[in-house]
Structure 1
Amino acid sequence: MTDILASYSLGAIRAFETAARLKSFTRAADELGVTQAAVSWQVKSLEQRLGQPLFVRRVREVDLTPAGERLARAATESMALLRAALSDLVESDEGVLAVTTLQSLATHWLAPRLGGFQLAHPGLAVRLETSHAMRDLSRGEADLGLRSGAGPWPGLTSHFLMPFVQAPLCSPDFLASAGGFERPADLLKATRIGNAREWAIWFEAAGVSPPDAVAAPRLEADAQSLEVASAMAGQGLALGSPIFFAPDIAAGRLVQPFDIAPSYGGGYWLVYPEERRRVRKITAFRDWILDAVATDPAIVRYPARLAP
């Protein structure tokens, strides 16, 4: 039997997959580095070979027909597998693991532990990127990611790492100057740092109903690490993760007045493309980080929240 794929141009299928994913011949042309007319011609030739339309042409974009949707799902999956296979065969890529993550997670939990991973895998260099932007792992913008949220993410294999919990933290000097805190309600009168809504969640978990007129936090930053740094400098109480800042608490640089750390929903996850789940450098990092999570005493303190 003749192979049906031999009857179709790979270039036409690639042009179709790109246009289907971007819903535009023009954007597909930009991504492929060809003209819009070339993309249109390739798609038209594929439609003629199939004897049915794949797109509904509109003024500024295109929509898939039912037949186009069916083919697009298979084409996107196949192209992703092909890209992954080619990437994994490139020798220069084999020795580098690109990880995208969040700043607070990278600074306070991941970076201090990465030395252990690199000692276990001396032939593998780690390229760490911290960004709030969500990289497209399916297109090779990074090998894997550490993300926050509730999941799942379509097309990605995900592993839950740790919960998103927060507790009030302050410096020993600040605690002394305040005369200590006997009850959670005492924090209503203290200088606080951070988001008012997040503080309201903590007070509710502590069984405190804030009065209508309660002072708002004096400082709010776009990163947990900045807020806790202000608290460490004696400027007030900040909400921070007792997991991230466990070393500072243990060393006495920070104090956690109350062992009340409610979950703020979701948590932190390891994610990577499903089609790359067997790539050796990804499985090596996966096994290492899951073991690190399972043996971290600060994470183990919250066993009831170790599931999404």
Structure 2
Amino acid sequence: MKESGVRRLTASRLSGLRVFAVAARHQSYSAAAAELCVTQAAVSQQIRNLEQSLGCRLFRRRGASMRLTEQGEALLPFVEQGLALLRQGLEQLAPSTAGPLAISVLPSLAARWLMPRLWRFAEAHPDIEIRLQPSQQLADFSGGQVDLAIRYGRGQYPDLACELLMADTAFPVCSPALAGRLGSLEELAGVPLVTAPEYAGVSWANWLALAGRPELLARCRQMTVDDGSLALDMVLAGQGVTLSRSVLVADLLRDGRLCRPFAPELKPLHQYYLVWRPDSPRLTEIRLFCDWLHREAGSLKPPASRF
């Protein structure tokens, strides 16, 4: 008996369903086109062909976005589930579990926190090789080049598994020699303030306001750099005071290479999160590494300030 046209899964319909899932996630044909590396017209044509073959409308335009119709809403979970199962099946044929576990991490966190600790994971799990990918960009999980990301944000990563790793605070730090010259906030006006780009609310203006002396900023001499890790290198060399995050300076404070001259501390708007694909074929290794990271983060207790 001839199969119903609606139920037959042709190659063109499978391609259209993939485009439909991406467009539904973005609620935008142009955003779907950017992700799929095709033109917006190609996305529109694929959706139009799919709608014609199914005999119903899947999207309706509302303002600048494309919203699902009732039929589109009903179809979407089945399409997403089917594509996920198909991807898992293909990965079973060519599993990506061989090779290093690829970790995307912010360069500052890699250099100042993760790298000095990573030998402990290697010692506990010699069968799991780790490859760090320091990057300021959000990890792209779609190509299979990244297994796990450590991101500094608000924990909003659609379609990805996410859990909080650790929070931090921000406060001034300087070399021990320079700390001896800072008996009060007033004396900040006599030393260079090494300033990195403001991110997540961490700035000298916000910290001085929290400390009750916002007017001091106009009297301070600032030295601006493009990276927070570079700012730490400068203050380690005794070249000023910088505002840094507690996670990045915990080891330097503990070793006595830096001092924390003042008590007030800002709470940044962002926190560190672990992010990965929920259908990754390497979930066992990801879980082992995440659990180890949580243990390391749990032992992070930076020394208190002098004042």
Q: Distance in 2 between matches of 1:89 and 1:117?
A: 30
- Partner of 2:261, secondary structure, is coil
* Partner of residue 182, structure 1: 183
From 186, 198, 205, give the equivalent of 1:200: 205
User: What CA RMSD, in Å, does the superposition of the two structures yield over aligned residues?
Assistant: 3.8
- Report deviation, 1:85: 5.2
Instruction: Give structure 1 regions of 4+ aligned residues with deviation exceeding 6 angstroms.
Output: 2-5, 36-39
Give the 3 Å change call, closer, same or farther, for CA 159–65 of structure 1 in structure 2: closer
Query: Structure 2 length as normaliser, TM-score?
Result: 0.77
Q: Distance in 1 between matches of 2:66 and 2:49?
A: 18
Q: Distance in 2 between matches of 1:240 and 1:213?
A: 17
- Report deviation, 1:102: 0.5
Give the 3 Å change call, closer, same or farther, for CA 115–43 of structure 1 in structure 2: same
| Code of the aligned partner of 2:56 | Q
Higher helix share: 1
104-113 or 153-162: bigger deviation? 153-162
| Code of the aligned partner of 1:109 | W
Give the 3 Å change call, closer, same or farther, for CA 50–5 of structure 1 in structure 2: closer
* Partner of residue 220, structure 1: 224
77-86 or 102-111: bigger deviation? 77-86
- Report deviation, 1:39: 9.5
- Report deviation, 1:261: 2.5
Query: Could you list the per-position Cα deviations for residues 179-210 of structure 1 after superposition, in whole angstroms to 9, with x for gaps in the alignment?
Result: x222234324432111577112222332x222
Query: Residue 170 of structure 1 contacts residue 234 of structure 1 at CA under 8 Å; is this kept in 2?
Result: yes
Q: How does 1:1-308 map to 2 (within 5 A)?
A: 7-9=8-10, 11-18=12-19, 20-21=21-22, 24=29, 31=36, 40=45, 46-54=50-58, 63=66, 65-66=68-69, 67-84=71-88, 86-87=90-91, 90-176=94-180, 180-195=181-196, 198-206=203-211, 208-211=212-215, 214-215=218-219, 217-276=221-280, 279-298=283-302
Aligned residues: 291
- Partner of 1:264, secondary structure, is coil
Query: Could you list the per-position Cα deviations for residues 231-285 of structure 1 after superposition, in whole angstroms to 9, with x for gaps in the alignment?
Result: 1112110111233222222222212112333212221111112334982111111
Query: Structure 1 length as normaliser, TM-score?
Result: 0.77
Query: Residue 191 of structure 1 contacts residue 236 of structure 1 at CA under 8 Å; is this kept in 2?
Result: yes
89-98 or 224-233: bigger deviation? 89-98
Q: Distance in 1 between matches of 2:224 and 2:119?
A: 32
Query: Could you list the per-position Cα deviations for residues 5-61 of structure 1 after superposition, in whole angstroms to 9, with x for gaps in the alignment?
Result: 96223552233322552555997699489xx88994x7566434422133569xxx9
* Partner of residue 305, structure 1: none
Q: Distance in 1 between matches of 2:6 and 2:125?
A: 41
Percent identical among aligned pairs is 30
Give the 3 Å change call, closer, same or farther, for CA 19–48 of structure 1 in structure 2: closer
